[in-house]
Amino acid sequence: MFEDIKKEFPILSQTVHNRQLVYLDSAASTQKPECVINAVDNYYKTLNSNVHRGIHTLSQKATDIYEEARLKIQNFIHAKHSREIIFTRGTTEAINLVASSYGKLCLKQGDEIILSQMEHHSNIVPWQLVAEQYGAVIKVIPISQTGDMRLDEYKKLFSEKTKIAAFTHASNVLGTINPIKEMIAIAHQNHVPVLVDGAQGIKAEQVDVQDLDCDFYCFSGHKIYAPMGIGILYGKEEWLDKLPPYQGGGDMIEQVRFEQTIFNQLPFKFEAGTPNVGGAIGLMAAVDFIADCGLENMIAHEKQLLTYALEQMQTFENMRIIGNPASRTAVISFLLGNAHPSDVGTLIDFEGIALRTGHHCAQPLMDFLQISGTVRASFAVYNTKEDVDMLVNGLKKVGKMLG
């Protein structure tokens, strides 16, 4: 049903090295449809003004559409209140916000933080920083050789010292879609709150934060067809009320005196400074785009491409597919013979094909896999079977070149 949707993405009409561009790097960042580009463009052409701070017409209109975007995200992830939706620069800032504020409130010497072996650096380093600051200890959930979370071992990690668990909804390397609802329930049985890194999971499944019962859920707009530089932290109201502010400045205050500052109500308590209004509007347009397409339809389309690509790539004698999880997103990480991933990525770029190479900001996972990096192909709604055929043909050509 998405045969013609590529036409809605202007960037995909270009050529690279005199070849038609085949963009297979959507796990890093999706391309933007015309409707999103137009929404951002229209804001800067007709409404550009700071929000929450002016009584003039432009400011009021900008504020209205900015808050409309917040409501749109609330409905998109089924949050209970719009005040539980915090605009951030992306998943990374959202996780840093929680780690910093939660650490300040809750962590002390000897406390424990549970992470997993498949985490992106963005869900490792912030916790390392607060662990070092407060003397906490990080415990790691191991994974199986197929790339699935070891729930039996996860359960064993909890103790009276466990203060928070933070894990990814879906792996950006293996594509693993984790059973996060079950994992959240296990943590709550141990009276431990949970943060979910939803950077990859937000478009892999329909997210209902109330049904999941997660305490925090973080994601980035640029993974779901929205601009870069805008993201979301969802937090349960009771947690956001308790946590201290992450940054100080304008808009997050109710009253400032040199003797004392009274902080603003939610969600503004966590939104210091001039926000990315254009980004929020772009995110709203992206959510509308997803609604028009139908998220379930998009997921089904991507899984068809994934299945087709795996079938084709598994015919290679010298192809090693990394991971075989029970449930996965439209991501394939692989190695082509003994070729270095960077060599494969460089050569296939001359075929007009955009892939991602390297450790994908998941070095602990690479250590577990005993490799330095992979080549990664990732699919989105604008990809087609023809794109997969071009990938396969390109890899055959590169394989011959590299011997």
What does the domain layout of the chain look like in residue ranges? Answer: 5-26+294-402, 37-291
Gyration radius of the chain's alpha carbons: 22
- Residue 265, pLDDT above cutoff 90: no
As a whole-number percent, the residues of the chain with pLDDT over 70 amount to 96
Q: Are 330 and 175 in contact (CB under 8 A)?
A: yes
pLDDT at position 403: 72
Mean pLDDT (the chain, rounded): 95
pLDDT at position 113: 98
Q: Give CATH for domain 37-291.
A: 3.40.640.10
What homologous superfamily is domain 5-26+294-402 in, according to CATH? Answer: Aspartate Aminotransferase, domain 1 (3.90.1150.10)
pLDDT tens, 346-389?
A: 999 999 999 999 999 999 999 999 999 999 999 999 999 999 99
pLDDT at position 150: 98
Greater pLDDT, 231 or 258: 231
Confidence category of residue 281, pLDDT binned at 50, 70, 90: very high
Of the candidates 35, 214, 293, 361, the residue annotated as catalytic is: 361
Average pLDDT over residues 9-19: 96
Confidence category of residue 264, pLDDT binned at 50, 70, 90: low
pLDDT tens, 88-107?
A: 999 999 999 999 999 999 99
Confidence category of residue 252, pLDDT binned at 50, 70, 90: low
Q: Are 241 and 101 in contact (CB under 8 A)?
A: no
Average pLDDT over residues 265-287: 93
- Residue 261, pLDDT above cutoff 90: no
Same fold for the pair 5-26+294-402 and 37-291: no
Q: Are 84 and 235 in contact (CB under 8 A)?
A: yes
- Rounded CA gap, 269 and 289, in Å? 30
- Rounded CA gap, 293 and 286, in Å? 11
pLDDT at position 3: 81
SS3 per-residue string spanning the chain = CCCCHHHHCHHHHCEECCEECEECECCCCCCCCHHHHHHHHHHHHHCCCCCCCCCCHHHHHHHHHHHHHHHHHHHHHCCCCHHHEEEECCHHHHHHHHHHHHHHHHCCCCCEEEEECCCCHHHCHHHHHHHHHHCCEEEEECECCCCCECHHHHHHCCCCCEEEEEEECECCCCCEECCHHHHHHHHHHCCCCEEEECCCHHHCCCCCHHHHCCCEEEEEHHHHCCCCCCEEEEECHHHHHHCCCCCCCCCCEEEECCCCEEECCCCHHHCCCCCCHHHHHHHHHHHHHHHHHCHHHHHHHHHHHHHHHHHHHCCCCCEEECCCCCCECCEEEEEECCCCHHHHHHHHHCCCEECEEECCCCHHHHHHHCCCCEEEEECCCCCCHHHHHHHHHHHHHHHHHHC
pLDDT tens, 32-44?
A: 999 999 999 999 9
Residue 361 appears among annotated catalytic residues: yes
The CB-side HSE value for 387 (13 A sphere, CA atoms) comes to: 23
